[in-house]
Structure 1
Amino acid sequence: MSNDNKGGQNRSISIGGSVTGAAIQTGDSNTANINFQQVSLPEPESVNIQTEINALREILGKLETSDRRKIDNAFEDVQEELNKPQSDKNEVGKALERAFEYAKKGAGFASAIEKLQPHLTKTTAWLGENWHKLLSLVNLTI
């Protein structure tokens, strides 16, 4: 009888700081393939945010998902914020993050990633450094 104590090991992970673009796992004999593509962000002023949001909404709108209404609501929140004279980029970011959290559960999200990448890259540039984490949703990193 083996007494290797694997069943009782503490496998908690503690992280201080950012883990964007990293794979973290615990366990025995696990393997992971994470392919993040590095991108350069354009100048925020060069981004037509309305064009990018429209493109993201159109691509996500083609997914098969039971959360369609929630995704649409999140994009309506984005649009409402963009219509204000001074858009709060954090509000836009939070609503987009919500839309993507629902969308990535939908059928076809993985095959839509390539189409989403250029638009989310530009959107992330416009949103600013606090929102670079959104890139990881489509397998990108800075």
Structure 2
Amino acid sequence: MATPQDSPADRSVQVGGDITGSAVVTGDHNTVQVQPASLPSPETVDIQAELKALQTLLAGFDDPVATGVAQKLAQEAAKPEPDKSAIATTLETGLTYAQSLAGFAEAIDKLRPHVEAAAGWLGKQGYKLLPLVGLTL
């Protein structure tokens, strides 16, 4: 008698240790490309410039949701003290949504360095952004 662990339809994953820097994928014939991130020190990041670049790239998808995310990033970039929590949430929402848009695969290489810099500035709040553009710590 087959156990649930032997079932070919079971796609669960059990991890017994630290898998930082790894990609865990279930399914058949999947490929994953993950690059290690090199996060800059927060004080070296010009967050206004990074948000402007991300705003431009997201607006380039010519999609109302992506444009709304771009506008929210512009509003935060205009503040003397941008809200880290708002930026992290806005970027996570925008990047998660953008993954389903035509052109995301072509834009990912342009997005990656700006997301990496923003994640460095955001600190722990930014780490969850990295996998959205194929980066890992």
What is the deviation of 1:106? Answer: 0.9
Query: Unmatched 5+ residue regions in structure 1?
Result: none
What is the deviation of 1:8? Answer: 9.1
- After the TM superposition, list the runs of 4 or more consecutive aligned residues in structure 1 that deviate by more than 3 angstroms: 3-21, 81-86
Look up the SS of the partner of 1:128 in the other structure: helix
What is the deviation of 1:88? Answer: 2.2
Is the Cα contact below 8 Å between 2:130 and 2:136 reproduced in 1? yes
Return the alpha-carbon distance in structure 2 between the equivalents of residues 97 and 36 of structure 1: 18
Between structure 1 and structure 2, the one with the greater Rg is 1
Give the corresponding residue for 1:44: 42
Comparing 72-81 and 52-61, the one that deviates more: 72-81
Give the corresponding residue for 1:62: 60
Relative to structure 1, the CA distance from residue 63 to residue 31 in structure 2 (aligned partners, 3 Å threshold; closer, same or farther) is same
Is the Cα contact below 8 Å between 1:23 and 1:32 reproduced in 2? no
Return the alpha-carbon distance in structure 2 between the equivalents of residues 61 and 9 of structure 1: 40
Task: Give the alignment's Cα RMSD to 1 decimal.
Answer: 2.9
Give the corresponding residue for 2:24: 23
Is the Cα contact below 8 Å between 2:111 and 2:133 reproduced in 1? yes
TM-score by length of 1: 0.75
Give percent identity, aligned residues only: 34
